[in-house]
């Protein structure tokens, strides 16, 4: 599955004229990820992949739609809760649990998005943040979320009834397949005519309106897509860690994913992947430094904004003079 | 006994008054945000952290230098405001030519750094700061026992808010400020040093946050996370009020405190969400906020 | 010459025998090192674990102990992630401490899956030895039932029968309120009302006012950490205790009292399983601890880490290895006796039982200085302090 998916890429990419080197990078990344679990700890890698997808989903909205959502944890978290709950309490198989979690995020994205797109810029950021805070309080108090204990000991189950996901390595390749699929979907969206209109709106909204595009519909559509993909990431994460908790819906999570996108490079394809890997790796390996990790994250934020607005991948892309 | 919705009126008055007290903090903080936003077009995410710094610096001054509460009320806003000025000069001023979102991201990062540093050095259990002797004790109002200090908070906050409003809306300096908000280059052409005005405005907004922190220190625990969640409520206050008007920020701050107080009586579980629900409703009906101009 | 060779040979054999038999143990201290519980667990728990290893004299008993530590930030996902990695990759044999119920439950699950040992000291959830009990988990220091039993039962016995709860509106607060309500009602008391506040809360005046007008004898604070501290501070401001109502903190540690200061905390009633100034042994140990911990006295959580690690090392010595099943049964079969908690035992459900104490916080006049905070009101004997095994619904018991 993991191998099939990218095989279709050259065709679809060629149609919209995506540069050839993207295909190369995709394959290189995939190759690395196929070997990686034999070198690094698979659970850690799965976490990186979940956040890479999450950050890419945010990037779809921020980097290509020009809308900064400071409340994306809401979709990530709600999907985590729904997939954990359905897998544990209803005993659904993992594929259905993930699907339902993702769907929940999509619905939530539609509700919040419809309100949030009424404002722009900073207001949009604050509104999404405030709504995410509502979702947080809901998660804290709703009977099915288990309050601050979260939903624990979620069974990973058997995919399609015969692939046992309890094995970390097996699950790793399933996650790799899903995340690859998600990434390709994002890539496809960005390079479709829809994506072109989005970029036009991002760059000059009044002009796009005057050209006859229903700007609000485009914005809502990309908002819902982004929420859905963030939900997909959250749903997988819940099964990987067998846990859905308040951390997933807290606003610091929203901040973290913005940081990943910013650090990796907003509006680049591969930036969020790099950003996620750096931040998650940092959290993982510097865990013993306690609050210094927060300080370090804050400093990275400040430095990225002041000196490094293109992000890591943005800088590389400038060096090699090719969009990444 | 006459009851309103099953609650004796005395209790209701008590709760309204408490709501007003909480509203004083919302008002001071949202006022600071509004002042900063008005001139800099930046949403100061570090506002919560600066509020926390206010409380901490008051504690440090007392503990290390024996500076009492009354001096702290004056010195802490100056000190924290000065750090704000440094931040503005060193960092924020570099972002004016960019999308305003970068300002939000920068101050978010600053908030993380400030909170993290205080957590590292002072832990999070909170530090004690006692109510000054002059303001301890309280009065029995008949329907409730009002601690003198809480009364003082309302008075102080109202005075500062109205003073700020007066300074901005009714004085020459305020006129320059408002003009610079509309058209900085034109104001600059009249020989007014706009960048310095911007710097001082940021410092002033930060000082307001620090003042709120000093006022809060004796009643809430002095703790590195004290501003972290509050700032999001204040954001909602600001969205409800609309960013156009100073008066809007003040009125919405006090008003929401009262509404929250009422919710605490009737359905305490929802008191944290109330603000956000109101925000959603306001956005539906009046996207620019209650007092705002269309953005 | 010959004697010397003989001696050398003998020495060599002992050394070799020693190395052959030596057991390598890696203890992971997983707790909050930067958040609300950093003071009551944090680095202090690492110090306590190290003291246990030294006092046990592990080095001379052919047990090589290494201690690692990490910050779980009170997040269950971070905790389970670290636990997994410790067990899978770093060769950790036992995890200790883990405050925050959600994180503790997560670590308990991972420990069961990896078949290692988990001795919890910092968390309060009774689920650890109840419906989510595990053959690999021991819950050492306290739990919410014991706190409710101590504070609720003993206060009603003193004549404070009417209660009003200020409860943090989430699972932990609810269970604390529920358990205390049961104890209060069983002892003949009555609950006049409750107010549930959002978590985390900053302003408690509204709830305190409701509590005041309810006419209750006791205001029970079913919350934790910063919420409790704020509520107590504001109760002092509104003159709640001066007006004759008692304040009962259902989960409060000596570090919280320290942070509050006696002026605000005086008169507060609370339950703990350890206080440094209980007897000569606790004083001796605590002085040593404080010397290493920047002068800060130990909490019951620190004491629990010390006592738990000690019991574990004894089991390692007794079984001569680190087979999890053998270790667990050795720990459950051997009664515990240590200078900090006195005599006790580890029950089949993993609950460690010992006496609990009901304390009242001293007034500033009564206190002789920092850390002299408690007056002992009552001792709740081990047999009564904890939830009876058959009520917990632990699968290990019914088997």
**Does residue C285 sit in the same domain as residue C240?**
no
**Does residue C210 sit in the same domain as residue C348?**
no
Amino acid B242: pLDDT: 82
Taking 80 as the threshold, does the pLDDT of residue B259 lie above it?
Answer: yes
Amino acid A190: pLDDT: 92
If you ran DSSP here, which 8-state letter would residue C296 be given? P
Taking 90 as the threshold, does the pLDDT of residue C277 lie above it?
Answer: yes
**Does residue C133 sit in the same domain as residue C168?**
no
Q: What is the pLDDT of residues B98-149, one digit of tens each?
A: 888 888 889 999 999 999 899 888 877 678 788 888 888 888 877 778 889 9
Q: Which residue among A245, A287, A294 sits closest to C102, beta carbon to beta carbon?
A: A245
CB C37 within 8 A of CB C99: yes
A254 in contact with chain B, both atoms CB, cutoff 8 A = no
Range of the domain at B111: 9-285
Q: State the average pLDDT over residues A167-184.
A: 93
Q: Which of C37, C209, C242, C296 to mutate to test the interface with B (most CBs of B within 10 A)?
A: C209
Residue C397 placed within a domain: no
CB C274 within 8 A of CB C300: yes
Q: What is the pLDDT of residues A305-320, one digit of tens each?
A: 998 888 999 999 889 8
Other CB atoms within a 10 A radius of the CB of residue A113 amount to 25
Distance of CA C156 to the CA centre of its chain: 24
Q: How many domains does chain B have?
A: 1
**Does residue C74 sit in the same domain as residue C214?**
no
Q: What is the pLDDT of residues B145-189, one digit of tens each?
A: 888 999 999 999 999 999 999 998 889 888 888 888 778 788 888
Closest CA to A270 of A13, A4, A63: A63
**Does residue C184 sit in the same domain as residue C119?**
no
**Does residue C214 sit in the same domain as residue C160?**
yes
C82 in contact with chain A, both atoms CB, cutoff 8 A = yes
Residue B41: C-alpha distances to residues A123, B33, B53, B283 (Å): 11, 10, 23, 20
- Model ipTM? 0.83
Q: How many domains does chain C have?
A: 2
Closest CA to C242 of A317, A273, B110, B137: B137
If you ran DSSP here, which 8-state letter would residue C60 be given? G
Confidence of residue B194 (pLDDT cuts 50, 70, 90): confident
Which residues in chain C are closer than 8 Å to A294, comparing Cβ atoms?
Answer: 34
Q: What is the CATH number of the domain that holds C306?
A: 3.40.50.2300
CB C288 within 8 A of CB C260: no
| B7, closest residue in chain C (CA to CA) | C210
C131 in contact with chain A, both atoms CB, cutoff 8 A = no
**Does residue C131 sit in the same domain as residue C267?**
no
Amino acid B4: pLDDT: 52
Q: What is the CATH number of the domain that holds B91?
A: 1.10.3470
Do the Cβ atoms of A294 and B119 come within 8 Å? yes
| A261, closest residue in chain B (CA to CA) | B105
B35: alpha, beta or left? (left if phi > 0; alpha if psi -120 to 50): alpha
**Does residue C200 sit in the same domain as residue C235?**
yes
Q: State the average pLDDT over residues A274-294.
A: 84
Residue B267 placed within a domain: yes
A251 in contact with chain B, both atoms CB, cutoff 8 A = yes
CB pairs under 8 A between A and C: 84
| B111, closest residue in chain A (CA to CA) | A298
* DSSP per-residue string spanning C303-364: HHHHHHHHHHHHHHHHHTS--HHHHHHHHHHSPEEETTTEEEEE-TTSBEE--EEEEEEPPT
CA distance C103 to chain A (A): 8
Q: How far does chain A reach from its first CA to its final CA, in angstroms? A: 25
Q: What is the pLDDT of residues B9-68, one digit of tens each?
A: 767 888 888 899 999 999 999 999 988 988 888 889 999 999 999 999 999 999 999 999
The mean of the pLDDT values for chain A is 87
Confidence of residue C21 (pLDDT cuts 50, 70, 90): low
**CA-atom Rg of chain B in angstroms:** 19
**Does residue C338 sit in the same domain as residue C196?**
no
Q: Which residue among A141, A146, A152 sits closest to C169, beta carbon to beta carbon?
A: A141
At B295 the three-state DSSP class reads: coil
A138 in contact with chain B, both atoms CB, cutoff 8 A = yes
Which residues in chain B are closer than 8 Å to A128, comparing Cβ atoms?
Answer: none
Phi, psi of C99 (to 5 degrees): -70, 175
C71 in contact with chain A, both atoms CB, cutoff 8 A = yes
Which residues in chain B are closer than 8 Å to A138, comparing Cβ atoms?
Answer: 273
Contacting subunits of C (3+ beta carbon pairs below 8 A): A, B
Confidence of residue A15 (pLDDT cuts 50, 70, 90): very low
Amino acid C18: pLDDT: 45
Q: How far does chain B reach from its first CA to its final CA, in angstroms? A: 49
**Does residue C226 sit in the same domain as residue C370?**
yes
Per-residue three-class SS string for chain A? CCCHHHHCHHHHHHHCCCCHHHHHHHHHHHHHHHHHHHCCCHHHHHHHHHHHHHHHHHHHHHHHCCCCCCCCHHHHHHHHHHHHHHHHCCCCCHHHHHHHHHHHHHHHHHHHHHHHCCCCHHHHHHHHHHHHHHHHHHHHHCHHHCHHHCECCCCCCEECCCEECCCHHHHHHHHHHHHHHHHHHHHHHHCCHHHHHHHHHHHCHHHHHHCCCCHHHHHHHHHHHHHHHHHHHHHHHHHHHCCECHHHCCHHHHHHHHHHHHHHCCCCCCHHHHHHHHHHHHHHHCHHHCCHHHHHHHHHHHHHHHHCCCHHHHHHHHHCCCCC
Do the Cβ atoms of B277 and A255 come within 8 Å? no
Taking 70 as the threshold, does the pLDDT of residue B1 lie above it?
Answer: no
| C265, closest residue in chain B (CA to CA) | B128
B192 half-sphere exposure, CB direction, 13 A CA radius: 20
B69 in contact with chain C, both atoms CB, cutoff 8 A = no
Other CB atoms within a 10 A radius of the CB of residue C110 amount to 26
Residue C394 placed within a domain: no
Confidence of residue A14 (pLDDT cuts 50, 70, 90): very low
**Does residue C332 sit in the same domain as residue C360?**
no
Which residues in chain A are closer than 8 Å to B114, comparing Cβ atoms?
Answer: 298
A39 in contact with chain C, both atoms CB, cutoff 8 A = no
C3 half-sphere exposure, CB direction, 13 A CA radius: 0
Residue B224 placed within a domain: yes
Residue B291 placed within a domain: no
- C246-249 and C218-222: which strand pairing? parallel
| B224, closest residue in chain C (CA to CA) | C35
**Does residue C74 sit in the same domain as residue C160?**
no
| B137, closest residue in chain C (CA to CA) | C237
Q: Which residue among C35, C230, C261 sits closest to B220, beta carbon to beta carbon?
A: C230
Taking 50 as the threshold, does the pLDDT of residue A1 lie above it?
Answer: no
B196 CB burial (10 A radius; 0-12, 13-18, 19+): exposed
**CA-atom Rg of chain A in angstroms:** 19
Choose between A115 and C171: higher pLDDT.
Answer: A115
Amino acid A308: pLDDT: 84
Do the Cβ atoms of C238 and B11 come within 8 Å? no
CA distance C46 to chain B (A): 17
Do the Cβ atoms of A149 and C77 come within 8 Å? no
Q: What is the pLDDT of residues C64-89, one digit of tens each?
A: 999 999 888 888 888 988 999 899 98
Q: Which of B235, B243, B270, B281 to mutate to test the interface with A (most CBs of A within 10 A)?
A: B235
Range of the domain at C30: 2-142+279-354
Amino acid C107: pLDDT: 94
Angle at the Cα of C104 (from C102 to C110), degrees rounded to 5?
A: 105
> In order of start, what are the domains of chain A with their CATH numbers?
4-319 (1.10.3470)
Q: State the average pLDDT over residues C92-114.
A: 92
Do the Cβ atoms of A148 and C81 come within 8 Å? no
Do the Cβ atoms of A153 and C132 come within 8 Å? yes
Q: What percent of chain A has pLDDT over 70?
A: 94
CA distance C215 to chain B (A): 13
Would you state the structure tokens that stand for residue C260, as one six-digit string? 């509050």
Residue C325 placed within a domain: yes
Amino acid B72: pLDDT: 94
Q: Which residue among A137, A146, A288 sits closest to C70, beta carbon to beta carbon?
A: A288
Which alpha helices (DSSP H) does B171-241 contain, by range? 172-182, 184-189, 194-216, 230-241
Q: What is the pLDDT of residues C316-357, one digit of tens each?
A: 999 988 899 999 999 999 999 889 999 999 999 999 999 999
For residues C359 and A217, give the distance between their C-alpha atoms in angstroms, rounded to a whole number. 63
Looking up tokens 């004016």 gives B96
Amino acid B244: pLDDT: 63
Would you state the structure tokens that stand for residue C256, as one six-digit string? 């919280």
Do the Cβ atoms of B144 and C226 come within 8 Å? no
pTM, two decimal places: 0.85
C395 in contact with chain A, both atoms CB, cutoff 8 A = no
Taking 60 as the threshold, does the pLDDT of residue C2 lie above it?
Answer: no
CB A131 within 8 A of CB A74: yes
For residues A125 and B238, give the distance between their C-alpha atoms in angstroms, rounded to a whole number. 13
Q: Which residues contact A132 (CB under 8 A, 6 or more apart)?
A: A70, A71, A72, A73, A74, A249, A251, A254
Q: What is the pLDDT of residues C347-381, one digit of tens each?
A: 999 999 999 999 999 999 999 988 999 999 989 99
Amino acid B226: pLDDT: 87
Residue B178 placed within a domain: yes
Do the Cβ atoms of B104 and A122 come within 8 Å? yes
Residue C399 placed within a domain: no
Do the Cβ atoms of C77 and A241 come within 8 Å? yes
For residues B171 and B162, give the distance between their C-alpha atoms in angstroms, rounded to a whole number. 13
Q: Which residues contact B191 (CB under 8 A, 6 or more apart)?
A: none
| Strand blocks (E) in chain C | 23-31, 63-71, 94-97, 117-120, 137-139, 162-168, 190-197, 218-222, 246-249, 269-272, 336-338, 342-346, 352-353, 356-361, 374-380
Residue A281: C-alpha distances to residues A41, B60, C165 (Å): 11, 36, 44
B11 in contact with chain C, both atoms CB, cutoff 8 A = yes
Amino acid A5: pLDDT: 35
* DSSP per-residue string spanning B91-146: TGGGGTTS-HHHHHHHHHHHHHHHHHHHHHHH-SS-B--PPPGGG-SEEE-SSSEE
Strand order in the sheet with C218-222: C190-197, C162-168, C218-222, C246-249, C269-272, C356-361, C374-380
Q: Which residue among C71, C88, C169 sits closest to A290, beta carbon to beta carbon?
A: C71
Residue B121 placed within a domain: yes
């Amino acid at each position: 599955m993991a191998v099939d998916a990218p095989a279709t890429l050259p065709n679809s990419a060629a149609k919209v004229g995506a540069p050839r080197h993207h295909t190369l990078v995709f394959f290189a990344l995939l190759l690395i990820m196929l070997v990686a679990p034999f070198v690094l700890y698979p659970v850690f890698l799965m976490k990186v992949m979940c956040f890479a997808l999450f950050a890419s989903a945010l990037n779809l909205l921020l980097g290509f739609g020009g809308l900064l959502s400071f409340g994306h944890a809401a979709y990530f978290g709600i999907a985590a809760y729904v997939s954990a709950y359905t897998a544990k309490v209803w005993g659904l198989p993992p594929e259905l649990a993930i699907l339902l979690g993702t769907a929940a995020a999509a619905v939530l994205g539609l509700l919040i998005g419809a309100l949030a797109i009424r404002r722009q810029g900073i207001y949009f950021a604050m509104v999404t943040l405030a709504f995410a805070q509502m979702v947080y309080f809901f998660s804290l108090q709703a009977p099915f979320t288990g309050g601050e204990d979260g939903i624990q000991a979620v069974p990973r189950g058997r995919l399609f009834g015969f692939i046992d996901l309890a094995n970390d390595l097996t699950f790793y390749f399933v996650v790799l397949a899903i995340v690859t699929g998600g990434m390709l979907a994002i890539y496809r969206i960005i390079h479709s005519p829809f994506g072109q209109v989005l970029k036009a709106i991002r760059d000059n909204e009044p002009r796009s309106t005057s050209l006859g595009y229903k700007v609000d519909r485009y914005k809502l559509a990309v908002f819902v897509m982004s929420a859905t993909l963030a939900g997909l990431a959250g749903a997988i994460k819940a099964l990987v860690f067998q846990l859905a908790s308040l951390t997933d819906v807290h606003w610091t999570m929203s901040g973290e994913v913005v940081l990943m996108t910013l650090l990796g490079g907003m509006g680049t394809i591969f930036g969020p992947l790099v950003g996620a890997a750096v931040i998650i790796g940092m959290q993982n390996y510097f865990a013993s430094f306690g609050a210094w990790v927060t300080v370090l994250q804050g400093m990275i934020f400040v430095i990225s904004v002041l000196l490094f607005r293109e992000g890591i991948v943005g800088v590389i892309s400038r060096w090699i003079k090719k969009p990444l | 006994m006459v009851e309103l919705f099953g609650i004796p009126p005395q209790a209701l008055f008590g709760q309204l008054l408490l709501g007003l007290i909480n509203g004083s903090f919302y008002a001071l903080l949202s006022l600071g945000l509004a002042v900063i936003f008005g001139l800099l077009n930046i949403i100061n995410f570090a506002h919560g952290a600066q509020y926390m710094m206010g409380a901490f610096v008051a504690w440090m001054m007392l503990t290390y230098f024996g500076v009492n509460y009354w001096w702290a009320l004056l010195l802490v806003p100056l000190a924290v405001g000065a750090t704000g000025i440094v931040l503005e000069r060193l960092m924020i001023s570099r972002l004016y030519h960019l999308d305003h979102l970068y300002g939000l991201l920068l101050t978010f990062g600053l908030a993380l750094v400030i909170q993290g540093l205080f957590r590292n050095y002072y832990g999070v259990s909170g530090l004690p700061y006692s109510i000054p002797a002059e303001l301890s004790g309280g009065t029995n109002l008949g329907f409730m026992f009002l601690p003198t200090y809480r009364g003082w908070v309302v008075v102080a906050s109202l005075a500062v808010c109205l003073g700020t409003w007066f300074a901005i809306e009714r004085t020459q300096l305020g006129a320059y400020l408002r003009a610079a908000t509309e058209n900085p280059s034109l104001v600059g052409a009249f020989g007014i040093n706009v960048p310095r005005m911007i710097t001082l405005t940021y410092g002033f907004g930060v000082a307001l946050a620090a003042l709120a922190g000093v006022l809060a220190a004796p009643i809430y625990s002095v703790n590195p996370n004290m501003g972290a969640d509050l700032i999001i409520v204040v954001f909602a206050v600001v969205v409800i009020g609309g960013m156009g008007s100073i008066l809007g920020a003040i009125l919405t701050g006090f008003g929401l405190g009262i509404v929250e107080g009422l919710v605490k009586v009737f359905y305490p579980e929802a008191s944290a969400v109330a603000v956000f629900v109101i925000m959603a409703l306001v956005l539906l009906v009046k996207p620019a906020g209650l007092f705002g101009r269309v953005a | 010459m010959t004697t010397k060779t003989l001696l050398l040979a003998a020495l060599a054999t002992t050394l070799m025998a020693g190395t052959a038999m030596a057991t390598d143990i890696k203890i992971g201290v997983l707790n909050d090192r930067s958040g609300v519980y950093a003071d009551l667990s944090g680095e202090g728990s690492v110090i306590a674990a190290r003291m246990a290893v030294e006092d046990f004299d592990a080095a001379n008993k052919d047990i090589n102990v290494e201690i690692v530590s990490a910050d779980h930030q009170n997040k269950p996902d971070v905790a389970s992630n670290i636990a997994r990695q410790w067990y899978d990759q770093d060769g950790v044999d036992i995890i200790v401490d883990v405050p925050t119920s959600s994180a503790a439950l997560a670590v308990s699950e991972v420990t069961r899956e990896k078949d290692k040992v988990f001795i919890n000291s910092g968390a309060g959830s009774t689920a650890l030895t109840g419906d989510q009990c595990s053959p690999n988990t021991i819950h050492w220091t306290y739990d919410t039932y014991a706190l409710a039993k101590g504070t609720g039962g003993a206060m009603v016995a003193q004549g404070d029968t009417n209660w009003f709860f200020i409860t943090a509106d989430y699972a932990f607060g609810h269970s604390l309120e529920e358990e205390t309500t049961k104890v209060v009602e069983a002892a003949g008391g009555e609950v006049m009302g409750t107010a549930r506040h959002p978590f985390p809360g900053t302003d408690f005046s509204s709830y305190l006012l409701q509590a005041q007008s309810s006419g209750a004898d006791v205001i029970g604070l079913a919350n934790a950490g910063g919420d409790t501290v704020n509520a107590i501070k504001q109760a002092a401001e509104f003159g709640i205790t001066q007006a004759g109502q008692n304040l009962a903190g259902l989960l409060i540690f000596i570090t919280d009292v320290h942070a509050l200061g006696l002026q605000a905390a005086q008169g507060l009633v609370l339950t703990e399983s350890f206080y440094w100034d209980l007897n000569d042994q606790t004083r001796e140990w605590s002085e040593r601890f404080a010397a290493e911990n920047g002068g800060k006295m130990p909490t019951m959580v620190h004491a629990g880490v010390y006592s738990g690690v000690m019991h574990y090392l004894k089991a390692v010595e007794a079984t001569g290895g680190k087979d999890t099943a053998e270790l667990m049964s050795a720990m459950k079969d051997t009664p515990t006796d240590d200078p900090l908690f006195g005599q006790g035992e580890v029950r089949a459900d993993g609950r460690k039982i010992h006496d609990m104490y009901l304390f009242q916080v001293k007034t500033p006049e009564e206190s002789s200085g920092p850390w002299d905070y408690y007056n002992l009101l009552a001792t709740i004997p081990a047999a009564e302090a904890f939830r009876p095994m058959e009520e917990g619904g632990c699968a290990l018991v019914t088997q």
